[in-house]
């Protein structure tokens, strides 16, 4: 295992052991749940918005270290972003996991998940939080379009 793999693994384990923004918001604007039956991973994301920005985000769930670490990193990356930027990050992250070239500058800890691409069975674990967030953002857009 290369030293970069080793470093990535440490970052992932750290988020798994001490997840950031963990729990549930008391009064979320939107809450969504996702499951990855292949691995038994579950993620719930609750969101509160301030205008068009993600004001607060929390996640809870259970499953493998990759699924939970990915959710923890996601909350850090998305908190405070506009909905538009959050959606852009979701599609970039998905593209990265498909092996497409994306700029991971300013990604911080998120970059550690790029190593997961080499283990196709685990890609769904890394993506679970992102597809769950994407659904939450779509619900929000749908709701605000009606008001
Ligand atoms: Zn998993």
Residue 124 neighbours by CB under 8 Å, 6+ apart: 36, 38, 39
Give 26 Cα–ligand 1 centroid separation in angstroms. Answer: 27
Residue 1 pLDDT: 58
More confident residue, 75 or 146: 75
Distance 48 CA to ligand 1 centre (A): 26
Distance 138 CA to ligand 1 centre (A): 24
pLDDT per residue over 102-137, tens digit each? Answer: 988 889 999 999 999 989 999 999 999 999 999 999
* Cα 85 to ligand 1 centroid, rounded to whole Å: 26
Give the pLDDT mean for 90-111. 93
* Beta pairing partners, 21: none
- Whole-angstrom CA distances from 15 to 2, 73, 99 are 21, 7, 23
| pLDDT number for residue 39 | 96
d(CA 114, CA 97): 7
Q: Which domains does the chain carry?
A: 3-146 (3.90.1010.10)
CA of 66 to the centre of ligand 1 (A): 6
- Predicted local confidence at residue 4, as pLDDT: 78
Q: Ligand 1: distance of its center to the CA of 132 in Å?
A: 14
pTM of the model as a whole: 0.95
What pLDDT is recorded for position 146?
Answer: 63
pLDDT above 60: residue 13: yes
- Provide the mean pLDDT of the chain: 94
Give the tens place of pLDDT for each residue, 39-62.
999 999 999 999 999 999 999 999
Question: How much is the average pLDDT of 66-88?
Answer: 97
Q: How far is the CA of 111 from the centre of ligand 1 (A)?
A: 18
Q: Is the pLDDT of residue 66 over 90?
A: yes
**Cβ neighbour number for residue 143 with a 10 Å cutoff:** 12
- Report d(CA 104, CA 125) in Å as an integer: 20
68 Cα to the center of ligand 1, angstroms:
8
Q: How far is the CA of 41 from the centre of ligand 1 (A)?
A: 5
């Amino acid at each position: 295992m290369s030293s970069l793999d080793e470093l990535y693994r440490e970052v992932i384990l750290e988020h798994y052991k001490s997840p950031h923004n963990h729990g549930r918001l008391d009064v979320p604007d939107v809450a969504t749940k996702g499951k990855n039956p292949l691995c038994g991973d579950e993620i719930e994301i609750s969101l509160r918005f301030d205008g068009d920005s993600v004001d607060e985000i929390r996640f809870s769930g259970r499953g493998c270290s990759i699924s939970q670490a990915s959710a923890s990193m996601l909350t850090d990356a998305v908190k405070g972003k506009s909905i538009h930027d959050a959606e852009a990050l979701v599609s970039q992250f998905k593209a990265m996991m498909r092996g497409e070239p994306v700029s991971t500058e300013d990604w911080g800890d998120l970059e550690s998940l790029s190593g997961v691409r080499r283990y196709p069975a685990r890609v769904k674990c890394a993506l679970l939080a992102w597809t769950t967030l994407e659904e939450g953002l779509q619900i929000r857009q749908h709701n605000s379009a009606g008001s």
